[in-house]
Structure 1
């Protein structure tokens, strides 16, 4: 299986009758292992909904989602929760770190919540992957915004997931720290640890951020409308400008 994630005829609607809203329409796409994919589109195009359904955070109205070969539609809520915890990682714009815990303790938290004793060597390894091995004993208040987001990335990696889903991970960062974080994500794909992550799916609105990916998928009105391979920020910006022009 060469796909970390595969979506088959995915659709998502909200409401019913005359008030039904279609967020996603017949999405068919794969996210290969060892690949960094950015998802873009105008506001309301379905980007976050796509990410949430692909990650198993939300159930689609129809269609199927395969993560590392597992059809998550076949899983009960309890099974899905366990599967997400072990096979997927999540990073969002908000860091969501516990201020009273050190970086090392924040990273180990998902393992503790799963009822297991954290392996300190693994925790130290993922902190090293994001360049924060020397900050293991620091609390969030002692770290910059970029460092806090890197701790959040390390926390997402501690279970050695098949894929990392990131929703606007640079949204709360300035240009310099945002680039540092993107360099970390790029390295996770290009030079993964022996048992580490090599697949990233990221939602962003920023063409410069998207240019760090191997490809960019474009959404409009809940449908996939194109992609760019080896994108440049200029090419991404031009495509987004086209999507922003109302159709006559």
Structure 2
């Protein structure tokens, strides 16, 4: 299977000796191209550490992380920076848009900071992927919270990354806006969703690999599968998840602890 990301025996330990804390234990996972995976677990389960190691933001203590088939663990800081810029994208709770720049300028900014001059068509295509091409000239203050987060997604997509990492992407959004954002992520991963008034809808041939950390079963249910972590270990997987099934699994984990 063609994997955008693969983790092999991934272990992460903080500290040493008696004070050592193992955040991840021998994790073996693959994220196929075009898949949408949610990662869940109790507080302290290791889900954020897993995301950071998989994205090259933190180095594992042992094991391998392969993005596009390349083992990134042995890369130096310059090589890692280039990989993160060119082959991965990131979405966080905060939108991190510059208020003085338009949506188009915000999307183009990372490439400009890297010394590149992005083609306007490429930037507009990224905005079109999230249904915001018509808002290219709007500043953040002229956009809703959901639209701002979609600009942040377009910014992450403009370099056409192999994988898009999302850390609680709906955390700063209300329920309705959060659902609209999740519909956008479903489209990017190639999944059909109902058309939204004033926005894109239906099938799409765009396929982006998405790895998302969330604590919300309703949010996780938008993914193709949900992975469950506990005490740094992978303890379960749920495919074609429903919010109810995810919530029940999380309850079981809490009881087991």
Q: Residues 178-230 of structure 1, C-alpha deviation per residue, up to 9 Å, x if partnerless?
A: 00000000000116977x54210000001000111000000000100000010
Deviation, structure 1 residue 48: 0.7
**Following the alignment from structure 1 to structure 2, what is the Cα–Cα distance between the partners of residues 224 and 138?**
43
Q: Give the aligned CA root-mean-square deviation in angstroms.
A: 1.3
**Following the alignment from structure 1 to structure 2, what is the Cα–Cα distance between the partners of residues 33 and 246?**
33
CA contact (8 A) 1:157 1:197 kept: no
Paired residue secondary structure (2:73)? helix
- Please say if 1:238 is aligned against 2:256: no
TM (norm. structure 1) is 0.96
Q: How many residues align?
A: 246
TM (norm. structure 2) is 0.93
Map 1:39-118; keep pairs closer than 5 Å: 39-118=39-118
Paired residue secondary structure (1:90)? strand
In structure 1, the gaps of 5 or more residues are none
- Please say if 1:226 is aligned against 2:214: no
**Following the alignment from structure 1 to structure 2, what is the Cα–Cα distance between the partners of residues 246 and 232?**
21
- Please say if 1:167 is aligned against 2:177: no
CA contact (8 A) 2:187 2:204 kept: no
**Following the alignment from structure 1 to structure 2, what is the Cα–Cα distance between the partners of residues 125 and 193?**
14
CA contact (8 A) 1:163 1:197 kept: no
Deviation, structure 1 residue 169: 0.2
**Following the alignment from structure 1 to structure 2, what is the Cα–Cα distance between the partners of residues 34 and 134?**
26
CA contact (8 A) 2:190 2:204 kept: no
Map 1:143-154; keep pairs closer than 5 Å: 143-154=143-154
State the 4+ residue runs in structure 1 displaced beyond 3 angstroms: 191-194
Deviation, structure 1 residue 149: 0.4
In structure 2, the gaps of 5 or more residues are 192-202
Q: Residues 15-72 of structure 1, C-alpha deviation per residue, up to 9 Å, x if partnerless?
A: 1111111111110010111110000001111111100000001111111000011110
Deviation, structure 1 residue 74: 2.5
CA contact (8 A) 2:33 2:207 kept: no
Paired residue secondary structure (1:239)? helix
Deviation, structure 1 residue 246: 4.1
**Following the alignment from structure 1 to structure 2, what is the Cα–Cα distance between the partners of residues 221 and 172?**
27
CA contact (8 A) 2:189 2:209 kept: yes
Q: Residues 52-98 of structure 1, C-alpha deviation per residue, up to 9 Å, x if partnerless?
A: 00000111111100001111013111011001100000000111111
